[in-house]
Amino acid sequence: MRSRQRMFAAVMRLLLKCLRLGRRRRFKLVRQAEQLWHYGHLCLRSLLYNSFTNGDVVLDSLFEPVYWLVDHVTRWFGVVFVALVIGLTSSIVAIVYICLLPLILQTYTPAWICWHLAYGHWNLIMIVFHYYMAITTSPGHPPQAKDDLTGVSICRKCIAPKPARTHHCSICNRCVLKMDHHCPWLNNCVGHYNHRYFFSFCLFMTMGCIYCSISGWEMFQDAYAAIERMKLLEKERLQVAANQTYYQTPPPAFSFHQRAFHKSVVYLWVLCSSVALALGALTLWHATLITRGETSIERHINRKERQRLQKKGKVFRNPYSYGSWDNWKVFLGVDMPRHWLTRVLLPSPHLPRGTGLSWELPPCMTERHAPLLAL
């Protein structure tokens, strides 16, 4: 009896021991799996961790293929846009010379004829000169050698010195001095050496379009009314011709020359008015930036910096602004009164002030301005 009890107790102890070992082994496997999971998660986070990462960085990364596509399309379509500008401008000039100029010489007084000839040709010369210079002039690029510049940052994309006011153009794939933007209508960047040409082209093109719109307003009204009469007479002619034979069909009320003349005047007025509104708004925007002494890119940077300092109770001062009037003088390269005629009202290929690598106070600015940060 006792031997059976001892045997039963031994079997039970052995069974409990086996269960205890199995439970320990199972717990050990679970712990190892948890350790492997945490280790893998830690490795993944260590590979992807960036203290500067936020929602904006993630969004920019997701849209990077879209940016790449836009940059390359803009680069290849720049030639098309330039050809479009040249074609549209040439068509307007051709209409003025072929259709409007003979009419002006026949109907206007000698004083008005001299005014239109003088102003029209001066405006055309200014448009052609500044557009050609804006296309062919390099905006300026910083030197690639690191020993040439000191105290500047390094561009993360081209791994080269990046002076103040310099930014990288993803379309040109180069850093541009005092970059404002990449203009597809120029197929070129707008920077330090061609910023004045770009703005002058926008200004004189707007002035030319406004001049054509105002001068051709009465002609446009007459041409539009004539086209409406053409449509009405054409409709009546077709109704009469439907009840007559071929030989009894009346001749057209308007000749081909008259139709082309009226449609050309309407085309000229609509195109010039549209360009005057769109380009005029762009010109006013850039004039505001020039008055403030900043570029399109710097406007966004300065706005964020102004908001950041405002929270700290400080005031942001643009270090590249010398005052509204002086900003225009520096931008246009006006050093003396006669330069308003020779460098602003007449075509002038003079270079801008400085090299675009450093921005010291111009010699003509004797008054020292407030520092960058003022409490």
Band (pLDDT 50/70/90 cuts) for residue 22 is low
**In the predicted model, is pLDDT for residue 375 greater than 60?**
no
Structural contact between residues 283 and 206, judged by C-beta atoms closer than 8 angstroms: yes
How much of the chain exceeds pLDDT 90, in percent? 42
Distance CA 227, CA 233 (A): 10
CA atoms within 13 A on the CB side of 213: 14
**In the predicted model, is pLDDT for residue 30 greater than 90?**
no
Least confident range from 1-10, 75-84, 243-252: namely 243-252
Q: Is residue 146 part of a domain?
A: yes
φ/ψ region of 178 (left if φ > 0, alpha if ψ in -120 to 50, else beta) reads left
Distance CA 323, CA 81 (A): 36
Question: 């000169």: which residue's tokens?
Answer: 129
Specify the pLDDT at position 271: 96
Q: How many domains does the chain have?
A: 1
- Give 36-74 pLDDT, tens digit per residue: 887 777 777 766 666 666 666 666 667 667 666 666 666
Q: Is residue 17 part of a domain?
A: no
Q: Is residue 147 part of a domain?
A: yes
Torsion of CA 213, 218, 223, 224, to 10 degrees: 80
181 has which bridge partners? 190
Q: Which domain holds residue 207?
A: 61-245+252-353
182 has which bridge partners? 189
Length of the chain: 375
> Looking at residues 326-332, what average pLDDT do you find?
94
**Higher pLDDT residue, 308 or 23?**
308
Say what the pTM is.
0.77
Distance CA 315, CA 317 (A): 7
**In the predicted model, is pLDDT for residue 223 greater than 80?**
yes
Least confident range from 114-123, 301-310, 329-338, 355-364: namely 355-364
Please give the positions annotated as active site: 183
Q: Is residue 374 part of a domain?
A: no
3-state class (DSSP) for residue 356: coil
Q: Is residue 284 part of a domain?
A: yes
**In the predicted model, is pLDDT for residue 76 greater than 60?**
yes
Specify the pLDDT at position 71: 65
**Higher pLDDT residue, 364 or 75?**
75
Q: Is residue 48 part of a domain?
A: no
**In the predicted model, is pLDDT for residue 371 greater than 70?**
no
* Secondary structure letter of residue 215 according to DSSP: H
**In the predicted model, is pLDDT for residue 373 greater than 60?**
no
Distance CA 137, CA 271 (A): 28
Q: Is 181 exposed, middle or buried (0-12, 13-18, 19+ CB in 10 A)?
A: middle
Q: Indicate the average pLDDT of the chain.
A: 83
Specify the pLDDT at position 176: 94
- Give 96-107 pLDDT, tens digit per residue: 999 888 888 888
Q: Is residue 194 part of a domain?
A: yes
Q: Is residue 93 part of a domain?
A: yes
